[in-house]
Amino acid sequence: AQTVTQSQPEMSVQEAETVTLSCTYDTSESDYYLFWYKQPPSRQMILVIRQEAYKQQNATENRFSVNFQKAAKSFSLKISDSQLGDAAMYFCAYRSTQGGSEKLVFGKGTKLTVNP
């Protein structure tokens, strides 16, 4: 079974600075998808960014980018120019491509605080 590990329960960053959230995963599959979700205090789950495992190019979405290292099974999220609205729980998630296993497997989350 796949597992996702986020080793940083909490992180903090100064407004306008850059922060990197770590994520590692364990799988024997060669094709899969990885996601970062954000959960602000409103509780809503919001997709931040996604990456296909077969693509070597790292995904980017505005101020959000990932460092995907397939061999190391690492998928970190970099937030540039941090804003107060970035404060939230961030969840790394893995999705299999195998039939019957399409669920998202989540890490335990990292709570990000943005200091003004």
Partner 1 sequence: DTAVSQTPKYLVTQMGNDKSIKCEQNLGHDTMYWYKQDSKKFLKIMFSYNNKELIINETVPNRFSPKSPDKAHLNLHINSLELGDSAVYFCASSQGASGGDEKLFFGSGTQLSVL
For position 64 contacting partner 1 by CB under 8 A, the verdict is no
How many angstroms separate the CA atoms of 57 and 42, rounded? 32
Tell me which of 3, 5, 44, 60 binds partner 1, using CB under 8 A: 44
Shortest distance, position 114 Cβ to partner 1, whole Å: 18
Q: How far is CA 34 from the centre of its chain?
A: 8
Residue 24 or residue 39: which is nearer to partner 1 going by CB?
39
Residue 16 or residue 46: which is nearer to partner 1 going by CB?
46
Residue 1 or residue 71: which is nearer to partner 1 going by CB?
1
Token pair 């960053």 in the structure block, residue: 13
DSSP string over 11-41: EEEETTS-EEE--EEE-S-SSEEEEEEEE-T
Tell me which of 28, 41, 98, 116 binds partner 1, using CB under 8 A: 98
With CA atoms as reference, report the closest residue to 64 among 76, 81, 85, 78.
Answer: 78
How many angstroms separate the CA atoms of 32 and 34, rounded? 7
For position 11 contacting partner 1 by CB under 8 A, the verdict is no
Single-letter code of the amino acid located at 10: E
Size of the residue set binding partner 1 (CB under 8 A): 25
Positions that interact with partner 1 (CB under 8 A):
33, 39, 42-45, 47, 50, 52, 89, 91, 95-106, 108-109
